[in-house]
Structure 1
Amino acid sequence: MSGLCEGRVVVVTGAGRGLGRAHALAFAEQGARVVVNDLGVGVDGEGVPRGLGSARPGETPVAGPAQSVVDEIQAAGGEAVAHGGDIATTQGAASLIATAVDAFGALHTLVNNAGFLRDRMLVNLDEDDWDAVVRVHLKGHFLPLKYAAAYWRAEAKAGREVAARVVNTSSGAGLLGSVGQGNYSAAKAGIVGLTLVAAAEMGRYGVQVNAIAPAARTRMTEGTFAEAMAAPGAVGAFDAMAPENVSPLVVWLGSAASEGVTGRVFEAEAGRITVMEGWRPGPTSDKGARWTPREAGEAALKLLAEAETPGVVYGSR
């Protein structure tokens, strides 16, 4: 029986470990040929890059986590190549898409997953830590999406059928906020906005764009969800926090089977999938003329009494 993604070419960023690795392996298991991207840095973005292409001129590149995942896929009979470029740069993002096309002749699915953390309370958050986290998450989504979209638009204009998919990675922190993660929360909220715009712009070319807000046990979440990240239960028990629990939804969204699903955000955790519903008009009041500040305040309080209570910011209690 052929897999759900048989014949598709899939790019997964940040796929050397954690969720990205689980996604790459799951796509390969379903018949996809996979480009495994990972720069190979630490959980805070620091450290010597270990990905392919990170060596100085004249040196031999060191095989990092991306190549390890490629080796796993190939050992299981699948097809994959490694990419060690920085996808938050023009050169790295462009070469990522070119790698897929050069190696496998096409690109069908882009999974934007790469990222790292530099958690601080706002009063202690340095400008460099803000810039670094927004760069890797938000810019690191935008640039691969830009170059993939350009490829798909060219394919559509050339008269070739396009059934492309993009799966972006937001977070509960981006939907509700998370204490001590102002930079990360802002970047992940931005990814939701980017997803909605891309879905609206690219639909005419046969491209569907969705986002997930996953929760799983990875290097990035060890500190944030320390209690929930406890060791798995007995052998044979369901490991609720395994990153592999998120991947089936990602694979489906990245497949042709998800036809018609675009501009959506899903939470995925353990055995639960939730369609997230974002900002939409709630209670409203129209005076038909300009309010005074006192009138505006009185009207706002009445509307708030009728409105739904917002979700609790992670870590606030």
Structure 2
Amino acid sequence: MCEGRVVIVTGAGRGLGRAHAVAFAAEGARVVVNDLGVALDGSPQADGPAEQVVARIRAAGGEAVAHGGDIASAEGAASLVRCALDHYGRLDTLVNNAGFLRDRMLVNLDEGAWDAVMRVHLKGHFLPLKHAAAWWRAEAKAGRQVAARVVNTSSGAGLLGSVGQGNYSAAKAGILGLTMVAAAEMGRYGVQVNAIAPAARTRMTEEAFAAAMAPPAEGEFDAMAPENVSPLVVWLGSDASAGVTGRVFEAEGGRITVMEGWRPGPTADRGARWSPAEAGEAALKLLSASTAPLPPYGAE
């Protein structure tokens, strides 16, 4: 499905990113495997997970190269795109996946933990997208056909919220907004931008949601295996997804769901200014006619 395409996957040393990189390579893509090689909280590690994934892909007969730069920095993101261009001469698909957690209840969430999560998740999506988009725009303006794909990684926490994850939920919701804007701005240049909200067993979920992420009994379908999410990501990152852009998909086990975001519900317009009491009365009537929102993850 991806023969001849060059694909970047960020945060591809473990978990979902590793599964995506391996799946793209199995479908013929040449893969840039990005991973900074840090612990779950962002602290440095030295075990070289990106190189391990590259070795696995090459052992299976695929093509891959490792990139260890910090994609949440301008230089790191620029070097990521340069890595694809220098090694393979082109870039066709960007999968933004890198992230980590610093979970706290809001009253205990300090500014450093807020900034760190925003930087890695939200800025770490924006900067690679910016540099990749600039190259695709230049290609399109030079008259060369572009069929580029971007797959961003949000979360159920970004869609509904998650108790104890105010920073993570806000960042993942921001990624959804970024996806919509990028899809609208880049479509004229041949770039499609979509997002997924996956559920899988990774370093970020196996402790936070231990019961839900527990491995199944031997012989049973492992619904939380990261590899279950990758087929949708590969399709979204391929030519086969032509015409699909600005959409959000949940992916978990064998289930794929198209998510439908904010849209107008019940409304009232009196054609003049409301008093506070009148506005409140109108709001209560509208709420009684509306569908109740789903609760955040972890809410009692």
For Structure 1 versus Structure 2, the TM-score category normalised by the shorter chain is over 0.9
Question: What does the per-residue CA deviation read over 1:151-202, in whole Å, with 9 as the maximum and x for residues that have no partner?
Answer: 0000000000000000000000000000000000000000000000000000
- 2:230 equivalent among 247, 256, 265: 247
Equivalent in the alignment of 2:190: 206
Q: Tell me how many residue pairs correspond in the alignment.
A: 300
**What code does the residue aligned with 1:241 have?**
M
Q: Which residue number corresponds to residue 20 of structure 1? A: 17
Tell me which amino acid in the other structure corresponds to 2:255. Answer: R
- Where do 4+ consecutive residues of structure 1 move more than 3 Å? none
Summarize deviations over 1:67-90 as a string: whole Å, max 9, x none.
000000000000000000000000
2:134 counterpart residue number: 150
Partner residue in 1 for 2:293: 310
**Alpha-carbon distance between aligned partners in 2 of 1:157 and 1:297, rounded to the nearest angstrom:** 52
Specify the alignment match of 2:87 in structure 1. 103
- Partner of 1:221: helix, strand, or coil? coil
Q: 1:187 aligns with which of 129, 146, 171?
A: 171
Identify unmatched segments of 5+ residues in structure 2.
none
Counterpart CA distance in 1 for 2:197 and 2:94 is 16
1:77-125 CA-partner distances (Å, limit 9, x unpaired) = 0000000000000000000000001101100000000000000000000
What is the one-letter code of the residue matched to 1:32? A
Q: Match for 1:274 among 257, 260, 268?
A: 257
Matched with 2:278 is: 295
- Provide the TM-score with structure 2 as the length reference: 0.99
Deviations 1:222-262 (A, max 9, x none): 12211011123213x21100000000000000000000000
What is the distance in 2 between the residues matched to 1:106 and 1:232?
Answer: 41
Measure, in 2, the Cα distance between the counterparts of 1:233 and 1:217. 15
The residue correspondences of 1:90-239 to structure 2 (distance < 5 A) are 90-235=74-219, 237-239=220-222
User: For structure 1, which runs of at least 5 residues remain unmatched after alignment?
Assistant: 51-62
Q: Which amino acid aligns with 2:222?
A: D
Aligned CA-pair RMSD: 0.7
Report the TM-score when normalising by structure 1: 0.94
Distance 1:166 1:68 in 2: 24
Q: Which residue of 2 aligns with 1:31?
A: 28
Per the TM alignment, residue 216 of structure 1 is displaced from its structure 2 partner at its CA by: 0.2
User: Percent of aligned pairs with the same residue?
Assistant: 80
